[in-house]
Structure 1
């Protein structure tokens, strides 16, 4: 393969490629529920049209002497009926493509490896896939992004490398975080969609004088706090929140380009009111999401990659070092919450899409929030067999008078009564 046809991995992609040989890989799953059953032939045409505009997604992971890299796939994958678990690993060999498209009844799913893109970049691919399907299936005409090609260098640049400033790298000392306890089942995670009224959630957020993101993070914190044993209260609950760096730097890249904000909460012996926790979260978010704070962590991550000793190390040693760094970092985190915000599509899709949901694979407990119209969807992923935290999270909103509905990948016999009632 000509080196000109290769794609170098970005900084985050290198970290995630190090896990590619293991049983667990980080995968995003974007789902659109249509008003009619999905037509697989039309979905395949829509995928082919989308790949023409996003060739950087149709790639395979290959091994080099010093780094992994990406090469164009030999062909476009075929859409398949959904038959494997959600967020199942994508890299299974040198010819495996790092995305898949599946369907079940009236739902179409796009799953993408974190090796090639983050949530915001994947959203661009997903938006064009959905709009292309609506055009093909219903004869609509979608005007947005009609003449944009995402094959140009500006959409495939490495934002971390472009904006690397080593003198700004830095770390913040932290206390060891509380780690959720309980039996785990990594081979059979629970995936759950929790749908709420966006307007009702927004009303509560306005009442508390906080953002929806702060309110949802506070609900996660209180749900975790409600299940903590008393002998663990000396440990802070620490959540990571991804922040899109494209809004702070001049880049249109579709590849990974995000920073992580850390929210830390020291639990009290008594459960604090949700409003007070949400206001504390809002304060931390506003301070930690400042560009200079995000740059510290971004440059620290890039500095590790550019370490001269790591740079010349063979690939197997790099993978071990990056995996070890990821495990050490994970010990300081309790859970992760991501909010993709309001998802919009071209007007041509109006009346054809019922709901949208986003999930991610997990090695612990993750929450991914998105809003489509008046539907606020929380994608919950967990490997813990005990669902008490999920139970408490749902109960928080029920107690606020906000009642939702749940889609889940487990049979009724495995659900607690509160989740069933929700």
Structure 2
């Protein structure tokens, strides 16, 4: 089958391409802990099979006169034993491949640049990789891939396809609280916080809210505890990425998400967490409505469609996009991404113990997913003071729900 030799960047990919070569590259990390130690040969064969299905991941970032673009890598990717810090930058030079697969003992890791894909698109690749590995390692019967889109559908720029200029609308930004404190960007802290899904779900239901609303409320209250009294009239504002594929019936594995916002002003008195969770739930119901997500998506794309920017030289675009990204980062306190329930085919699931997702950060970020009865919350932070993380974990302990934490703060290797 003939494959494209190059791909256009989607709207979000263009924004993240301005980070190329910098230490602030945005990288997702998916990890699965398996029942047995990883067989490198089986993983290499599985990776080669997966790239055949998802060729638009095996790419390098190249530069034209007006825009960056993605070019098919000349060589098939190679599995490596884990030897780099978590979410280490993927773009180093023009031939750098924008994803990597590594392993350590019982764990398989997939790291992907946000230039290539978002959380949901990367999940499709990761699940296909695990399925291929189980087939290679154990000879398990092959099940149909959950994702069976065509090459064209995988590489479609759905932002461009569904853009409607006259339906763009901005979101009013309040006076936002930004977490203060000493940062160590060169050596972030990465944590996996594991909780029993059913216990957390029961707690959420007892308060009449969803699990996601409860977790977001717990993060809000964890931040509130650390806020100076003088800042309590400022808004704790979170952006919550929402997958747009179902709304638009898109099968792309490129970036295609919208942003919902949750805003909470603590004020002088501490409301109970269950009250905060009810506020979060009410906001999310409105924020995730299709028309609101579409309006914000169109507003997000409008900058790229600006005629003056479109015909500006690449270095001018990169500078402009860096400024836009910096401005956007000052409009939120943190980001909470929820991938929901991760399901595996019954031929694959028995060989997997848990799944965790992390992302690189310039502040503090939360990635939430569940597999079986394991709720995994990946926390990335560059702050030296881990007060927010401690407050967050203490809430669940105070409710009689004991968790387990894996952490990495060495600058070498992965979370163990």
Q: Structure 2-normalised TM-score?
A: 0.96
In 2, Cα distance between the equivalents of 1:253 and 1:242? Answer: 16
Query: What residue is the counterpart of 1:96 in the other structure?
Result: 96
- Runs of 4+ deviating beyond 6 Å: none
Query: What residue is the counterpart of 1:108 in the other structure?
Result: 108
What is the CA distance between 1:3 and its match in structure 2?
A: 12
Q: Cα–Cα, structure 1 residues 3 and 52, in superposed 2: closer, same or farther, change >3 Å? A: closer
Give unpaired runs (5+ residues) of structure 1.
Answer: 412-422
Q: Is the deviation greater in 74-83 or in 237-246?
A: 74-83
- Which digits, 9 at most, give the CA deviation of each residue in 1:246-305, with x for residues without a partner? 111121111100001110000122321111000000000000111111111110111110
Query: What residue is the counterpart of 1:125 in the other structure?
Result: 125
Q: Cα–Cα, structure 1 residues 72 and 208, in superposed 2: closer, same or farther, change >3 Å? A: same
Alpha carbons 1:176, 1:331 under 8 Å: kept? no
Query: What residue is the counterpart of 2:270 in the other structure?
Result: 271
1:28 aligns with 2:41: no
Where 1:44 maps in the other structure, the secondary structure is helix
What is the CA distance between 1:149 and its match in structure 2?
A: 5.2
Query: What residue is the counterpart of 1:288 in the other structure?
Result: 287
Where 2:347 maps in the other structure, the secondary structure is helix
Alpha carbons 1:53, 1:150 under 8 Å: kept? no
Query: What residue is the counterpart of 1:420 in the other structure?
Result: none
- Which digits, 9 at most, give the CA deviation of each residue in 1:60-90, with x for residues without a partner? 0000000000000011221111111100100
In 2, Cα distance between the equivalents of 1:73 and 1:329? Answer: 32
In 2, Cα distance between the equivalents of 1:44 and 1:344? Answer: 23
Query: What residue is the counterpart of 1:309 in the other structure?
Result: 308
What is the CA distance between 1:317 and its match in structure 2?
A: 0.4
Query: What residue is the counterpart of 1:419 in the other structure?
Result: none
1:364 aligns with 2:363: yes
Query: What residue is the counterpart of 1:237 in the other structure?
Result: 236
Give unpaired runs (5+ residues) of structure 2.
Answer: 411-416
Alpha carbons 2:63, 2:69 under 8 Å: kept? yes
Query: What residue is the counterpart of 1:331 in the other structure?
Result: 330
Alpha carbons 1:195, 1:376 under 8 Å: kept? yes
Where 1:241 maps in the other structure, the secondary structure is strand
In 2, Cα distance between the equivalents of 1:383 and 1:80? Answer: 26
Where 1:347 maps in the other structure, the secondary structure is coil
What is the CA distance between 1:346 and its match in structure 2?
A: 1.1
Where 1:345 maps in the other structure, the secondary structure is coil
Where 1:370 maps in the other structure, the secondary structure is strand
In 2, Cα distance between the equivalents of 1:358 and 1:232? Answer: 32
Alpha carbons 2:237, 2:333 under 8 Å: kept? yes
- Which digits, 9 at most, give the CA deviation of each residue in 1:313-337, with x for residues without a partner? 0000000001100101111100010
Query: What residue is the counterpart of 2:413 in the other structure?
Result: none
In 2, Cα distance between the equivalents of 1:410 and 1:17? Answer: 27
What is the CA distance between 1:236 and its match in structure 2?
A: 0.5
In 1, Cα distance between the equivalents of 2:352 and 2:243? Answer: 26
Q: Cα–Cα, structure 1 residues 237 and 153, in superposed 2: closer, same or farther, change >3 Å? A: same
What is the CA distance between 1:129 and its match in structure 2?
A: 0.3
Alpha carbons 1:56, 1:151 under 8 Å: kept? no
In 2, Cα distance between the equivalents of 1:347 and 1:330? Answer: 41
Alpha carbons 2:233, 2:267 under 8 Å: kept? no
Query: What residue is the counterpart of 1:152 in the other structure?
Result: 151
Query: What residue is the counterpart of 1:414 in the other structure?
Result: none
1:187 aligns with 2:186: yes
Where 2:284 maps in the other structure, the secondary structure is helix
Q: Structure 1-normalised TM-score?
A: 0.95
Query: What residue is the counterpart of 1:342 in the other structure?
Result: 341
- Which digits, 9 at most, give the CA deviation of each residue in 1:340-396, with x for residues without a partner? 000011111132111100000001000000000000000000000000000000001
In 1, Cα distance between the equivalents of 2:270 and 2:40? Answer: 50
- Which digits, 9 at most, give the CA deviation of each residue in 1:106-128, with x for residues without a partner? 00000000001000000000001
- Which digits, 9 at most, give the CA deviation of each residue in 1:379-420, with x for residues without a partner? 000000000000000001001111010000037xxxxxxxxx
Query: What residue is the counterpart of 1:87 in the other structure?
Result: 87
- Which digits, 9 at most, give the CA deviation of each residue in 1:35-77, with x for residues without a partner? 1111111111100000000000000000000000000001122
Where 1:348 maps in the other structure, the secondary structure is coil
Alpha carbons 2:4, 2:72 under 8 Å: kept? no
In 2, Cα distance between the equivalents of 1:72 and 1:155? Answer: 14
Where 1:369 maps in the other structure, the secondary structure is strand
In 1, Cα distance between the equivalents of 2:403 and 2:183? Answer: 27
What is the CA distance between 1:13 and its match in structure 2?
A: 0.4
Corresponding pairs, count: 409
In 1, Cα distance between the equivalents of 2:217 and 2:132? Answer: 38
